[in-house]
Copies of this chain bind each other. A is one copy, B any other.
Amino acid sequence: VADRPTARRADATRNRERILRSAREAFGEADLEVSMAEVARRSGVGSATLYRNFPSRRDLLEALYVDEVDEICAAAATVDGAGAGARFTAWLHRFFEFATSKRSIAIGLLEHSDRSNPVFRTSRDRVLAAGRPLLSAARERGEITEDLTLEQILDLLVAVAKIPGDPDHLRAMLRTVLAGLRHRAEDVPGDAD
């Protein structure tokens, strides 16, 4: 009798995770055109359970988004590379994969909802905090220039991620941006125009 509440909690957690997994697949396949009813059907839970976990479609999208942010932050500690510059760059690749593969969810949510949403502000701060030590280490070794702040670097990656086109097309642009991060920018005569 004593373990019933625990079992119930474990059940609830399983349901929540099952919903998130199915929702991630469904949104990934069908852009944002997925109804709550479809999410309930695919995850095999009743709609009461779905709505108890995620009172609105937006709550569900936010939870998916936060999950991805958790992964990006965790990757900063585990990412591999020969040297600080390579590790920072590898992490940027992970961030970029997130920004492109999750574009439907993250960008959709971003654009259809309030940008002042605390979920976004918090996520941004968390990602910046996770990436900052990698950037500092790469700079100390002179492997990444001082030309841009981490905020600017991530803004640049998000901008590239939003360009329409297939992943290879975008990845080539990402590589150019990364090459730019390794080489000091010059002032260009045309600048004053």
Question: A residues touching B (Cβ–Cβ < 8 Å)?
Answer: 79-82, 86, 89-94, 97, 145, 147-148, 152, 155-156, 159-160, 162-163, 165, 169, 171-173, 175-191, 193
Question: Main secondary structure on chain A at its contact with chain B?
Answer: helix
- Contact assessment for A190 and B155 in the assembled complex, using a CB-CB cutoff below 8 Å: no
What are 15 A-B pairs at a CB distance below 8 A? Answer: A80-B190, A89-B190, A90-B193, A92-B190, A93-B190, A147-B175, A147-B176, A148-B172, A159-B159, A159-B160, A176-B185, A178-B185, A179-B180, A180-B183, A183-B183
Bound state CA distance, A169 and B153, in angstroms? 11
Q: Kindly report how many copies of this chain are found in the complex they form together.
A: 2
- Contact assessment for B155 and A165 in the assembled complex, using a CB-CB cutoff below 8 Å: yes
- Contact assessment for A185 and B190 in the assembled complex, using a CB-CB cutoff below 8 Å: no
- Contact assessment for B159 and A79 in the assembled complex, using a CB-CB cutoff below 8 Å: no
- A156: contacting residue among B89, B163, B193, CB under 8 A: B163
- Contact assessment for B176 and A148 in the assembled complex, using a CB-CB cutoff below 8 Å: yes
- Contact assessment for A177 and B180 in the assembled complex, using a CB-CB cutoff below 8 Å: yes
